[in-house]
Amino acid sequence: MDSEPRSSETSPRRSAGDVAGHIDHTLLRAEATREQVLRVCEEAKGHGFGAVCLNGRWVSPAADRLQGTSVQVVAVASFPLGADTTAAKVAQTKDLIHAGADEIDMVADLAAIIEGDDRYLLRQLQAVLETCRSMKPAVLLKVIIESAALTTDQKIFACRACEQVGVDFIKTSTGLHPAGGATIEDVRLIRATAPRCKVKASGGIRTAQQALAMLEAGAERIGTSSGVQIMQELSEQVQP
C-alpha cells in the first residue's frame, strides 16, 4: 500500500510543465496493442512527459514515433521478476538499446538481495551497467529493487550495492508485486542510503497529490500509467 502523502497544501508549488518533465509515462501491460503504445507516445509528446516506459516488444515503434522529440524511450529488462541470469540480462539490454531504448529499467535479482549475496548482485549490476556505458551515447541504467517486498536492512543492502557500482537511478518498484509499490518512506530511505543515485518512484502513483509528495520526498522521476490524469488534476488545481 502507498503511504499517505502529504496534502498538496504542504507540497512545493510546481507548474504542470515542471511535473510533466519528471514523468515516465508507462504502459507495461502484456496485452497492450500497437495502437495503445502509439497513443501513449502521442500523449507523452502532447503533455511534455520526460519519457515513455515500455516492454521490449514496443521499443522500436516507439523510438520511430518519438524520433526528433525530447521524449526518451525507457525499456524494462528482466521484467517483472529479475531472476534472469547475468548473461541473459546483458543480452537483453544490448537488444533493447539497439532497438532504440534511451534508458534501461532493469529488475535486480531479488534472491541476491534477500540472501545478502553481494558478490552475485554487484557482478550482475556491473555487467549491465558496463553494457549501458559502452553505448554511444551512454544509456542510463535504473535498477528496480522492489522495495515494498524487502525489509529495511535488505533495502539498505540493495541501495548500497547500486551506489557502489554507480548506477544512475534506483527505482522503487515494478508496480506488479503483490507487496505494493512506491512509498514516501522508501523514497527517503533510498535518497539517504545512496545519495549519489537518483530515485525513480513507481508503483501505485495515480494522483497529482501522490506525485507531488514523491517529488518532495526526493524522487527525480515518477513512473506511472496515470500521467494524463495527473496532468488534468494539476491543471484543474490552477484554475481560478
Residue 129 CA to residue 21 CA, distance in Å, equals: 24
Closest CA to 89 of 74, 101, 104, 100: 104
Is there a contact between 141 and 185 (Cβ–Cβ < 8 Å)? no
The domains of the chain, with CATH numbers, are: 16-234 (3.20.20.70)
Catalytic residues: 105, 171, 200
At residue 191, what are phi and psi to the nearest 5 degrees?
A: -60, -40
Closest CA to 106 of 88, 23, 193: 88
Give the pLDDT confidence score for residue 240 in this predicted structure: 54
Residue 38 CA to residue 23 CA, distance in Å, equals: 17
Distance from CA of residue 11 to its chain's centroid? 22
Residue 20 CA to residue 202 CA, distance in Å, equals: 15
DSSP 86-140: HHHHHHHHHHHHHHT-SEEEEE--HHHHHHT-HHHHHHHHHHHHHHHHTSSS--E
Mean pLDDT of the chain: 94
The model's confidence at residue 237, banded by pLDDT at 50, 70 and 90, is confident
Average pLDDT over residues 20-24: 98
DSSP state of 174: -
pLDDT above 70: residue 133:
yes
Residue 148 CA to residue 110 CA, distance in Å, equals: 12
Is there a contact between 73 and 38 (Cβ–Cβ < 8 Å)? no
Give 195's contacts (C-beta < 8 A, 6+ positions apart). 163
Is there a contact between 231 and 16 (Cβ–Cβ < 8 Å)? yes
Is there a contact between 71 and 44 (Cβ–Cβ < 8 Å)? yes
Average pLDDT over residues 38-60: 98
pLDDT above 90: residue 142:
yes
Q: What is residue 160's three-state secondary structure?
A: helix
Phi-psi region of 164 (alpha: psi -120 to 50; beta: other; left: phi over 0): alpha
For 151-180, the pLDDT digits (tens) are 999 999 999 999 999 999 999 999 999 999
For 64-89, the pLDDT digits (tens) are 999 999 999 999 999 999 999 999 99
For 179-203, the pLDDT digits (tens) are 999 999 999 999 999 999 999 999 9
Which residue in the block uniquely carries the three cell numbers 508507462?
A: 26
Give the pLDDT confidence score for residue 224 in this predicted structure: 98
Calculate what percentage of the chain has a pLDDT beyond 90. Answer: 91
Q: What is residue 104's three-state secondary structure?
A: strand
